[in-house]
Amino acid sequence: MAGTIGEVTGFFAATAGVVQTLTQAKEVLVNPLIAQLSPDNVKKIHDALNNAVKVLGAARMDFENEVEKNKTRVPSRTYMEWRRRVVEIERQVGDLLAEYRHRSNEGTRLWFIPPRWSFREDMKKMCETVINLLQERTEIRHKMLVDGAAERIVKRKGPNIKNYETLQKPLENILDWLKTHRVKGIGIHGTVGIGKTTIMLNLNNHDQVAKMFDIVIWLTVSREGSNENLRREHLIHTIAQRLKLTIAGTSNVDEVAERIATELKGRKFLLLLDDVKEYLNLNEIGIHLSNNGSKIVLTTRLHHVCDKRMVDRVIKVAYLSRDEAWKMFRDVLGSKKLIEDVKIGPLAFEVCRECSGLPLLIEKVADTFKLKNTEILWSEGLNSWRMWPRQEFEGIREVYELLRFCYNDLGVEWYKKRFLYGALYPEDSNINVDSLLECWDAEDLLGNGNDARKVRRGIGDLALTHLRNVSLLEEGKSDYHVTMHKFIRQAALYISEGYPECKHLVETNKALREPPNEEYWREKKRISLGGNELDRLPDSPNCSMLSTLFLQKNLGLKNIPTAFFEHMTTLRVLDISHTGIKSLPSSLSFLTGLKVLDLNNCQQLAELPSHIGELESLDIHGSGITNLPPHIENLIFLKRLWVSFENRNDTRDLSFNYNTISKLSRLEELVIDVKSPQQLTNEVLETIMNKVATLQKFKRLRVCFPNTIVDVLEVVAPRTVRIRVPEARILLSYIEGSQWRVVKRIGPFRFFVGCQNSEYHQNPNFVIYKKYVKYCNGVGINNPILQVLAEAEGFDLVNHTDIKQLSDFGTINMKQIRGCLVESCKTIETIMDKVGSELLPNLEQLFINNLPLLETIWKEGLVQPGSVSKLTTLVISNCPLLDKVFPPGAIEHLREIGNLTIEKCDNVEDIFTEADAVGNLSVLPKLKELILLDMAKLSSIWREGPLQPGSLTKLTTLILSSCRILVKVFPPSVNQQLCEIRYLKIEKCGLVEDIIPEADAVGNLSVLPKLEELILLDKAILSRICAIESLEWPSLEKLEIFGCPSLRRLPFKEGNSACLERIEGEQEWWGALQWQNQEYKEDLQNLCIFR
């Protein structure tokens, strides 16, 4: 026996790292010892247990060290349970062995009296446990570590933008939008280096975001220098890594995408997409935006990426203000001593100013200057920076490469050349869009002369839109201007040096008093010297290849040498605007190919030479030429003319040579600058309209007032016209003198008569009408408007006086009207008051707003068969005297109405009456949407009692708001006909106590079987939705309840609302709800979004 025990003891002592045949050891250790315990072998058992526990403890410590070292994985539950049992058995064995030693030290023999059998049983159990735990050790090693749950947010390193309002404000807007369920996607748009990613880094790290979302996922969507998004497989793999999904061995990306979707189901997530280059189908990468509050935010420099398929809101990031830029520069520089140095400080400010508010540039440049600690180094650095990119500048190669990529990404060579041309303008210029297009056209950058001008203009508009979309051009001071950022302009000038056809001399905004030496003018295609202080020019520079010459904004330039233009026979674009020149030299006649001449705001220039080549665009607005000279009719190729009625001298006569206009047979566009609206009287406008009416190719008449621009006439297609005039007779006079002669011959048209702001449309559906008239501020019946009205499909009558009914315009003149809006007509008492013929037989949409004297829409008994029989939409608002929407006998003719909205009609008490239910005809059988807002006296929507079969059976949307004395939403017996309702919103209806009457619910557990969304707001006494909790809600997906403190129970029980996905409400209200089943409340709480 002693040998056996010795073997066992040796076995445990020698197995510090290896356990051999544990099952056999258990048999050898436990069974013989327990059977033959004696004073001698108890000591050996003690030693064996002691050694075994030491081995077990060593294994535990090895495992703990391994867990501690691993920073990416976490201990498994299996391991933690094994470790707990090990620690427990170590304690128990320790206590037992301590007791043994205590008794041994006393020399007692009490071990062999009957209580020793209890000790023997403990020994037996502990031996078995130790062996089992050692036996599990190998298996535990493989299960010890697992992937942990993904962190809510992975903080990312980025600069703090709290002190930069230009960047902080977009961040705050985004945070606000993330809190509203209406917004699911947000786009951050802007040029290279503007701070888009920085804003999103601050969003990722924001404390509010951590509280709003279960998990935030950052996904870089493209690589720098690529014009495409990363492959789907890469994006899916990155998301799976973020979610800590084990996908090793899974090659099917669809399966991984499905796993991502499953993992995110029910979780409120925020997906941050950085640097998106093209539309990204989120579903294909496992991202499904449900109604649980999950959102996406993306950054892109490409505006078209921010389309409605991905985002609901777009933020355009602006350049930093001067003060913000200076603060950022100082922060990056990090040296107060350098900034406060009287010599270095001013240089530092100049260096910062050259960065023009571009954050990435400020960061790179300031970082480069950190090590410069003397005035000489700063001065040399500033000069080097100003020479960039012709001279390499340390630290910003990366930024230049980004810009170079943006340029190359334009792809089409024409786009590149148009972009490069824009760099000729002085920095910080607000470039007039139309003038730029004229220059492009003159330089053949919009196609060749064989293309129609309209086609070339369309190409130019598309190019401008594209350059703005990719952020190489920015919006200017108005919709009619664009700008190019200084840094982008510098890069463009450098790039253009690689194109022989773009060979240029550009010295702008440098306060030059002397022109560059003549040798620099030679062989140049384009020269730009604008924005300087030149007071003279070379006598006759040799510029035989020159096509564009910019001399604008040299106010001291008063004379041009007589022979200056003699060697510029290839010149196509000449801009001498905003100079002090008094006359043009005779050598201008050498410019036989000149297409564009800009003389705007040359205030000292009083006359034009008689011959100016084949000029196509002439701008003399703001100049001393206030009356068109007769010889301008010799400009037989002229297509665009910009003139003023007077120059800045208010005493100048307003005489204008109107007859000259009609002699410019190729004229397509006339732009007139007017100092005040009073100068352009209706008579003057009519005269001009009559002159341009005779020009077969004329496309646009534009009037520029000090604060607004009005396109009076636009011919956008051979038979499509938009006209904005103060009086109908001017409109008719133009039509009669034009190629059309009568309104009927005009194709689609948009006529705005008497409208101060024609761009504001009260009629929400005006775009669907091919022939549309908006008539504002008229008086009585105007015969000219009747001729137009007879051809119109859409008609808006706004702020008209001296008529009592719309039918005063003559029912025969409105037979073609499909859509009509009547607004703010203070004297109208009814819409239709004519007996006999059909009234508005083709009318589909009628909008009535703010008619203070309106008593009826149509007089009782006047609605004849066929009248308004096609009406599908009726919207009535702000008519305080109206008491009946449908007078007796009217509703039977309105069987096509699908949308009915009534708002702020304080005298209306009910919508449908008993009289409407008389007879066999159903009531509004096609009504889909009913909206009742702010109805002070509305006591019922429908009178109690059954409606005819088929009545209101198509109603899907019902919205009630601020109907203060309304008590019942659904009177008894009406619910059975409203089984199609999908959206129900009730707000501020203070007397409504329940939504569904108990009488309707008894015996019918599916009252609103298709209801998907129920919204209840600000209803203080609402105590229940329905008294019967067993009511079925088979289609309900969303429930929103706010401001309903008396509502203590929800009509839900397990199984009666299986489709419910979202509950929105106040947390305090939710906590006060009473439930029969507390577990079901906990289940529903997972669907809650508290605000």
pLDDT of residue 105: 67
More reliable by pLDDT, 254 or 10: 254
pLDDT of residue 882: 93
- What is the sign of the dihedral through the CA atoms of 583, 586, 588 and 592? positive
Cis check for the bond before 677: say yes or no (omega within 30 of 0): no
Do residues 482 and 475 lie in contact, with contact meaning Cβ atoms separated by under 8 Å? yes
Percentage of residues of the chain with pLDDT beyond 70: 87
Burial class (CB in 10 A: 0-12, 13-18, 19+), 1071: exposed
Report the half-sphere exposure of 202 (CA within 13 A, side-chain side): 19
Q: List the one residue out of 715, 712, 709 whose CA is nearest residue 696.
A: 715
Q: At the topology level of CATH, where does 909-1090 sit?
A: 3.80.10
**Is 90 exceeded by the pLDDT of residue 807?**
no
pLDDT of residue 118: 54
The tokens describing 17, both together, are 């790292």
Q: What is the pTM of this model?
A: 0.75
| pLDDT tens, residue by residue, 763-801 | 777 778 899 999 999 888 877 888 888 899 999 999 998
Q: What is the mean pLDDT of the chain?
A: 84
CA atoms of 229 and 612, how far apart (whole Å): 52
**Is 80 exceeded by the pLDDT of residue 986?**
yes
Q: List the one residue out of 41, 40, 37 whose CA is nearest residue 8.
A: 41
pLDDT-based confidence at 110, cuts 50/70/90? very low
pLDDT of residue 114: 40
**Is 50 exceeded by the pLDDT of residue 888?**
yes
pLDDT of residue 6: 41
| pLDDT tens, residue by residue, 925-979 | 899 999 999 999 998 887 666 667 788 889 999 999 999 898 888 876 666 778 8
pLDDT-based confidence at 845, cuts 50/70/90? very high
Do residues 524 and 543 lie in contact, with contact meaning Cβ atoms separated by under 8 Å? yes
pLDDT of residue 4: 36
CA atoms of 486 and 131, how far apart (whole Å): 79
Instruction: Let me know if domain 165-316 sits in CATH 3.40.50.150.
Output: no
Instruction: Give the helix ranges, DSSP H, for 317-443.
Output: 322-333, 336-340, 344-353, 359-369, 375-387, 397-408, 413-422, 433-442
Residue 462's contacts (CB-CB under 8 Å, 6 or more residues apart) are: none
**Is 60 exceeded by the pLDDT of residue 2?**
no
pLDDT-based confidence at 998, cuts 50/70/90? low
Across 29-33, 690-694, 821-825, 842-846, least confident range = 29-33
**Is 90 exceeded by the pLDDT of residue 670?**
yes
Element (H, E) at 548: strand 548-550
| DSSP bridge pairs for 1065 | 1041, 1090
pLDDT-based confidence at 528, cuts 50/70/90? very high
pLDDT of residue 77: 80
Across 369-378, 847-856, 1001-1010, 1062-1071, least confident range = 1001-1010
State how far Cα 323 lies from the chain centre: 28
Report the half-sphere exposure of 432 (CA within 13 A, side-chain side): 13
Instruction: Give the helix ranges, DSSP H, for 19-162.
Output: 22-35, 39-69, 77-106, 116-143
More reliable by pLDDT, 861 or 376: 376
Give me the count of residues in the chain.
1091
